[in-house]
Structure 1
């Protein structure tokens, strides 16, 4: 099994918190789409012999593309790669881009899963993030998608936001659950240095909610979604039974994937490639038939650390016997005291030779994983 990720690096405006690779200059869009087609052709060998089960249009804002542009990319991939019939084909979208006409066109072209960046249903909080859509559009987008035939919809929410009180977060959760999406991803705000929020925080102009607020809102999130019948299958991801994100799950299970577009990553089990985060240079290199990437061969400790980092965030945890057999790493023996300590605190459990973090432990997933890393 393998996946393909396409990075569409354009946005209408810059959200104050975002440090993903994007540009608000849409002028080079056609040149970049041509470069994406070229890169896909040049990378056809990367997934040679692999059955591609997922395709993911991420960004940026892929819903900025015309439906025909998305369809052209998808058709090109189908000509180059062995894409499974019924593959999960996801498009990230902003609510303000989702008209009935566009949704119907996307569905007809083969997109069968939407990931909609709602973030919050509060108009003041949306404005405080500099999001392009309105609260009204956030309410309307899921019913619109349903009417167009989409039966696999994910929505993104954010918590720990400036101005987002406990009452607003409670309302966000209630409104999200009323829409009954198949999947919900929820992320706590992280203040990144080069963002507007990062600069304002450094200058003392912004005072984001403290860590304890994020923890409290995370507990509200998990309680509400578990009670509503969602599975908490990864720290930030919840789904109704049978609706895990197959694309992201493949990442967490260390399956091969090809990343296309500026800033995209690729992984083929032995090495990782990184495309440059510069639209103009990416286009320039592809125009002369050069890949715009660097790479690294993964060492034993890289494999182990990535397995820990991804696996401990999931409901299926990590296979301790696999670590011994594949990488000659006896995690239990080398971290016996720490594992016993975590189990005593109710943060972890070991069952059937697998290590899992509890709901309480997942709050500290990054800290716990860092303690178990091979340095």
Structure 2
């Protein structure tokens, strides 16, 4: 149980006939550099003491140019959201955000009304970096606090110490940031002695506008995955995992946060606009090692290694594509159910069939959902069962669609 993210074969898009929905209005940019890899991390990261900022800027700018050529974007994309994730974007030189914006201008532009988020680690988010980012137009910070418990921080491999998040938030506020999100991890091994309630208290004391939760998982490629497989570490059992998740729901909603998505809480008006692009199935572009893009119905992802990514772009001048897939009808149906149910918009009941309505009645009786605004919306208890419930709803919706398909008239050729 977990809560949580060969180019020649592609025909060039026709810029003259493509509709506005074909052009992404959101961009994700991956920064792969970290001083060290955390124990639970299986992301595309490169351990380094000093991030090669100039090479990274050269590479992502080249990728954006090649992508625009391939997709037929003859005019710059007009972006509503930009998200710099990692890795550790705050390891880059302070002027990197201003330079990134300048280099992308021929292909993608955004104004002050766009949501521009950058992830940061407390130890590398300095007052200088905060000021430079704000001057460049960054208007939202996602801060990787994870925990305020010193032994747990050491176990994770985090470097910022218990007081690091407070200093980082102070730097953000002093630079003029009015939107700060704090990341926390729950479900840690019990032997660490971390008090989850205390972590929630410390997070709220920072007065963030947004909080994201991540349930600890043992990914096979991460050090933690190896520890668990070797019997050297034990994760939280399902009961404690659920108890901590529900405690977070209780404490954060009592503090005025809206639990608007399975893992995310925002004060009114402070929801993540960028993440909603993923959750609604809209197209988005992506740059950087391991980055995933969606150009419906095509899903594509890049090579994960920094050295391979850099070489493909700067030496070979070709897109760093590692793989792709076309989302078929069955997969799209399951994803539609999963995406609807993971946010508080819920599953629409207006044209629901009998199977969907029977399922809704069962979930409401179990306390897993409520009906509101003609939609079936999962409760916090229901979100703990999201993967299972999404499969059930996709199956119920398929039963509604099947008779309609059978009754469709056959057209003469």
Whether these two folds match at TM > 0.5 is yes
Superposed, 1:1-375 pairs within 5 Å as 2-25=25-48, 30-44=54-68, 46=71, 48=73, 51-163=78-190, 168-287=195-314, 288-293=316-321, 294-321=323-350, 332-335=353-356, 337-373=358-394
Cα deviation, 1:266-285, whole Å, max 9, x if unaligned, reads 11232211112122222222
The offset of 1:369, in angstroms, is 1.3
The offset of 1:43, in angstroms, is 1.9
Separation in 2, partners of 1:352, 1:220: 26
For the 8 Å contact 1:128–1:162, the answer to whether it is kept is no
For the 8 Å contact 2:252–2:265, the answer to whether it is kept is yes
Separation in 1, partners of 2:194, 2:59: 46
The offset of 1:145, in angstroms, is 1.0
Q: Describe the shift of the 1:145–1:191 C-alpha distance in structure 2 as closer, same or farther (beyond 3 A).
A: same
Separation in 1, partners of 2:98, 2:135: 9
For the 8 Å contact 2:121–2:143, the answer to whether it is kept is yes
For the 8 Å contact 2:51–2:92, the answer to whether it is kept is no
For the 8 Å contact 1:125–1:162, the answer to whether it is kept is no
Q: Describe the shift of the 1:201–1:167 C-alpha distance in structure 2 as closer, same or farther (beyond 3 A).
A: closer
The offset of 1:167, in angstroms, is 6.8
In structure 2, the partner of 1:327 is none
- Tell me which moved more, 166-175 or 111-120: 166-175
Look up the SS of the partner of 1:96 in the other structure: coil
The TM-score with structure 1 as length reference comes to: 0.91
For the 8 Å contact 1:38–1:286, the answer to whether it is kept is yes
Separation in 1, partners of 2:250, 2:135: 37
Separation in 2, partners of 1:219, 1:236: 11
The TM-score with structure 2 as length reference comes to: 0.83
For the 8 Å contact 1:47–1:81, the answer to whether it is kept is no
Separation in 2, partners of 1:297, 1:285: 24
Look up the SS of the partner of 1:303 in the other structure: helix
Aligned length: 367
Separation in 2, partners of 1:211, 1:356: 23
Long gaps (5+) in structure 2: 1-23, 399-413
The offset of 1:164, in angstroms, is 7.4
CA root-mean-square deviation? 2.2
The offset of 1:236, in angstroms, is 0.6
Cα deviation, 1:291-334, whole Å, max 9, x if unaligned, reads 1113222222222222222221111113345xx6xxxxx5x434
For the 8 Å contact 1:117–1:157, the answer to whether it is kept is yes
Separation in 2, partners of 1:231, 1:47: 40
For the 8 Å contact 2:313–2:320, the answer to whether it is kept is yes
